[in-house]
Amino acid sequence: MPERLRADLVLEYPFTRTTGPVIGGFLTGLREGMILGIRRSDGTVLCPPTEYDPESSEPLTDLVEVGPGGEVVSWTWVDPPRSQSPWDQPHGLGLIQLDGADTPIVHGLLVEGPSELSVGMRVTARWRPEREGHIADLEGFVPEGAVR
């Protein structure tokens, strides 16, 4: 009787992927509790940073620290929270222009209700204690001066 051939089948996704020096730099910064933007040739700073200038397409390399304070450029209220999001309570979603940056970043606004939100209000970053290099290492932004 011929020998029966046998091979195990393991379903897997055997790839790893690097996020590169810019996005990877930003994510590593988050792990360290630091928010990074990137400087364009005209001196303005993009946050979150992109690998290429969105207008001129030139490569960007000069990461600079921004925040952790900033100003709310726009906001809305999310209730109920979306099931796959990092937030399990009703929360604000905002465009937040961090100090030292010239473009706003999208993130959560952690307040009790929409009446506490306004355009131009000052906020500051709130960090998760355990961080892994992920956008949700930032728990969100809270009004400046709020008890942390």
CB of 54 to another protein, least distance (A): 4
CB 128 within 8 A of CB 137: yes
25 vs 143, which CB is nearer to another protein?
25
CB 47 within 8 A of CB 68: no
Applying CB under 8 A, the residues found at the interface with another protein are: 19, 23, 26-27, 46-48, 50, 54, 73-78, 82-86, 93-95, 103-108, 114, 119, 134-136
CB of 134 to another protein, least distance (A): 7
CB of 15 to another protein, least distance (A): 14
94 vs 124, which CB is nearer to another protein?
94
Query: For the chain, how far is it from start to end, CA to CA, in angstroms?
Result: 73
CB of 4 to another protein, least distance (A): 32
DSSP, res 99: T
38 vs 124, which CB is nearer to another protein?
38
* DSSP string across 59-95: B--EEEEE-SEEEEEEEEEESSPPTTSS--S-EEEEE
31 vs 134, which CB is nearer to another protein?
134
CB of 124 to another protein, least distance (A): 18
CB 68 within 8 A of CB 124: yes
> Where would I find the beta strands (DSSP E) of the chain?
35-39, 45-46, 62-66, 69-78, 91-98, 105-109, 122-127, 138-143
31 vs 82, which CB is nearer to another protein?
82
